[in-house]
C-alpha cells in the first residue's frame, strides 16, 4: 500500500523497533480508520494496530484516551491477579517517543497504536455457536471486571450515546430538516419509527426512575469487537473501548443480539434472509448470564429481551437518521448503504416483536 504522508508521520511518532514492511487497511469497523502495521525486527515479525481516531464523532479525543488508558491499566491488573496473559487479554497501548499514549499529527488528527492480538479473529458473522457463546461470557465477564471501576473518573465520550429517547428526537430533527430531500423515498421506514415513540421510552424511563442500575458498560458489543482465539476458540479480548462509559447492562446484551443473532449481515439487501435466530439468542442468553455471574438484578434479567429490541430499533433509527442527514456519521461503501442497514434492523425489530414471548421464556430458563 502507498503510505501517505499523514500515516508516515504518525508511524514515525511511535516507539517501534525494526523496519516497516507493510501497512494495510484493516477490519470492518464503521468509525475509525484502522491499519495493520508489520515490522521486521531482529526477533522476527512484530505487528500492531494503528488507528486514526474519528475526531468528528469523538470530539474530545484526549478524554477518550484517558478512559482507554485507565480502563486498560485496570484490566491489566485484574488479568494479572487472575494469572492471565496481559498481552492478549486486553488492549495494550504503544506509546510515542515522548511517552504519550496517542499522537496528534500536523493536521490535528489523533492517532493511537495497540499491540496486534495474534492468532485471534474478530468475526463479522457468527460461524458457530461456540464463538457466540464465548463472546457472551466475555462481555459479561468484562462488565464484572469493571464493576468496581471508579465510574466517576470516566468521561462520557459520546453524550446520550444509548439514550433512545434522545436518538428519537435527533431522528425527528433530521426528518424535519430533510437536507437532501430523501424523506419522500423512505416513508415506510419513517412511519416505522414514528409508530414506536412510546417503545423508545421503555428503558430510559426505568433508568430515570432508578429501577435499572447504571454500570460501567462497553456500549458497542458487536461480535466483531471481540477477539476469538484461533486455537482454543475462547473469546480472549474485548476491543473497541471508545464507548466504555456508564450505561445499561441490558443494552450491552441487546447490541450483541442485534448483530450476532441475526440470520444475515447488518447490510443484507435481501430482507427475506433477515430474522432473529432464537437458537443463537438462547446461546447468548446462557453465556451472558453466566458471564455476569449473579451480578444482574431481577429486573435487568427480565428486561434482556427488551434490550435486544430497543438496541436494534435505536441502531436502525441511527442508520435512518444518518441517511437523511447525508451519510455523515457511519462509513458507507455504496449508495444507500445506511438505508439498507436501517431496513435490516427494522426487519429484525418486527421479528423480535413477534417472538417476544419466546424470548422472555428463554431468559426465564437461565435466570
178 sits in the region (left: phi over 0; alpha: psi -120 to 50; else beta) called left
Told to check if 30 binds ligand GN1 by CB under 6 A, we report yes
Kind and range of the H or E element at 84? none
Cell representation of residue 158: 459520546
Among ligand ADP, Mg ion, ligand GN1, none, the one that 266 touches (CB under a kind-dependent 5 to 8 A) is ligand GN1
Minimum distance from residue 104 beta carbon to ligand GN1 (Å): 20
Minimum distance from residue 154 beta carbon to ligand GN1 (Å): 15
Among Mg ion, ligand ADP, ligand GN1, none, the one that 315 touches (CB under a kind-dependent 5 to 8 A) is ligand GN1
Return the CA Rg of the chain. 20
Among Mg ion, ligand GN1, ligand ADP, none, the one that 122 touches (CB under a kind-dependent 5 to 8 A) is ligand ADP
Minimum distance from residue 321 beta carbon to ligand GN1 (Å): 12
Q: How far apart are CA 63 and CA 69, in angstroms?
A: 10
Q: Is 73 helix (H, G, I), strand (E, B) or coil?
A: helix
Which residues of this protein are in contact with ligand ADP, per CB under 6 A? 26-27, 29-32, 34, 49, 91, 114, 116-117, 122, 224-225, 239-240, 242
Interface of this chain with ligand GN1, residues 256 to 275, rule: CB under 6 A: 266
Told to check if 254 binds Mg ion by CB under 5 A, we report no
Told to check if 29 binds Mg ion by CB under 5 A, we report yes
Interface of this chain with ligand GN1, residues 217 to 236, rule: CB under 6 A: 220, 222, 225
Among Mg ion, ligand ADP, ligand GN1, none, the one that 26 touches (CB under a kind-dependent 5 to 8 A) is ligand ADP
Neighbours of 175 (CB within 10 A): 18
Query: For the residues of 261-322, what is the DSSP string, one character each?
Result: SBSS-TT-S-GGG--B-HHHHHHHHHHHHHHHTT-S-HHHHHTHHHHHHHHHHHHHHHHHHH
Told to check if 325 binds Mg ion by CB under 5 A, we report no
Based on CB atoms, which residue is closest to ligand ADP, 21 or 148?
21
| Distances 300 to 213, 249, 277, 337 between C-alpha atoms, Å | 8, 7, 22, 34
Residue with CB nearest ligand GN1? 30
Interface of this chain with Mg ion, residues 209 to 238, rule: CB under 5 A: 225
Minimum distance from residue 4 beta carbon to ligand GN1 (Å): 23
**Helix, strand, coil in percent for the chain, rounding step 5:** 50, 15, 35
Based on CB atoms, which residue is closest to ligand GN1, 330 or 366?
330
Minimum distance from residue 256 beta carbon to ligand ADP (Å): 14
Long-range contact pairs involving 160-165 (C-beta distance under 8 Å, separation at least 24):
161/219, 161/243, 161/245, 161/247, 162/219, 162/247, 162/248, 162/251, 162/311, 162/314, 163/204, 164/200, 164/201, 164/203, 164/204, 164/310, 164/313, 164/314, 164/317, 165/200, 165/201, 165/204
Among ligand GN1, Mg ion, ligand ADP, none, the one that 49 touches (CB under a kind-dependent 5 to 8 A) is ligand ADP
Told to check if 29 binds ligand GN1 by CB under 6 A, we report yes
The residues binding ligand GN1 (CB under 6 A) are 29-31, 57, 220, 222, 225, 240, 242-243, 266, 315
Amino acid at each position: 500500500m502507498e503510505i501517505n504522508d499523514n500515516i508516515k508521520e504518525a508511524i514515525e511518532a511511535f516507539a517501534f523497533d525494526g523496519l516497516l514492511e507493510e501497512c494495510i487497511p484493516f477490519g470492518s469497523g464503521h468509525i475509525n480508520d484502522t491499519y495493520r502495521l508489520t515490522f521486521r525486527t531482529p526477533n522476527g515479525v512484530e505487528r500492531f494496530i494503528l488507528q486514526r481516531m474519528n475526531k468528528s464523532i469523538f470530539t474530545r479525543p484526549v478524554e477518550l484516551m484517558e478512559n482507554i488508558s485507565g480502563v486498560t491499566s485496570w484490566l491489566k491488573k485484574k488479568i494479572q491477579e487472575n494469572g492471565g496473559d496481559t498481552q492478549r487479554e486486553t488492549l495494550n497501548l504503544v506509546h510515542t517517543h515522548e511517552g504519550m499514549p496517542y499522537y496528534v499529527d500536523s493536521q490535528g488528527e489523533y492517532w493511537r497504536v495497540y499491540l496486534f492480538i495474534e492468532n485471534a479473529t474478530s468475526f463479522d458473522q457468527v460461524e458457530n455457536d461456540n464463538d457466540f457463546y464465548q463472546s457472551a461470557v466475555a462481555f459479561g465477564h468484562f462488565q464484572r471486571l469493571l464493576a468496581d471501576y471508579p465510574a466517576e473518573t470516566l468521561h462520557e465520550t459520546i453524550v446520550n450515546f444509548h439514550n433512545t429517547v434522545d436518538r428519537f428526537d435527533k431522528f425527528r430533527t433530521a426528518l424535519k430538516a430533510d437536507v437532501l430531500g430523501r424523506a419522500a423515498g423512505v416513508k415506510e421506514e419513517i412511519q416505522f419509527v414514528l409508530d414506536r415513540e412510546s417503545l423508545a421510552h421503555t428503558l430510559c424511563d426505568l433508568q430515570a426512575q432508578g429501577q435499572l442500575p447504571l454500570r460501567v458498560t462497553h456500549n458497542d458489543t458487536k461480535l466483531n469487537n471481540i477477539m476469538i482465539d484461533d486455537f482454543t476458540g475462547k473469546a480472549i479480548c474485548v476491543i473497541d473501548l471508545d464507548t466504555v462509559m456508564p450505561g445499561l447492562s441490558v443494552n450491552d446484551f441487546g447490541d450483541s443480539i442485534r448483530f450476532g443473532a441475526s440470520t444475515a449481515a447488518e447490510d443484507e439487501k435481501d430482507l427475506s434472509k433477515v430474522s432473529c435466530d432464537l437458537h443463537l439468542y438462547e446461546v447468548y442468553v446462557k453465556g451472558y448470564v453466566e458471564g455476569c455471574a449473579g451480578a444482574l438484578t431481577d429486573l435487568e434479567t427480565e428486561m434482556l429481551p427488551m434490550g435486544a429490541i430497543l438496541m436494534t430499533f435505536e441502531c436502525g433509527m441511527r442508520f435512518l437518521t444518518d441517511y437523511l442527514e447525508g451519510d455523515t456519521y457511519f462509513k458507507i461503501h455504496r449508495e444507500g448503504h445506511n438505508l439498507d442497514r436501517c431496513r435490516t434492523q427494522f426487519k429484525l425489530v418486527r421479528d423480535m416483536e413477534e417472538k417476544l414471548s419466546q424470548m422472555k421464556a428463554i431468559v426465564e430458563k437461565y435466570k
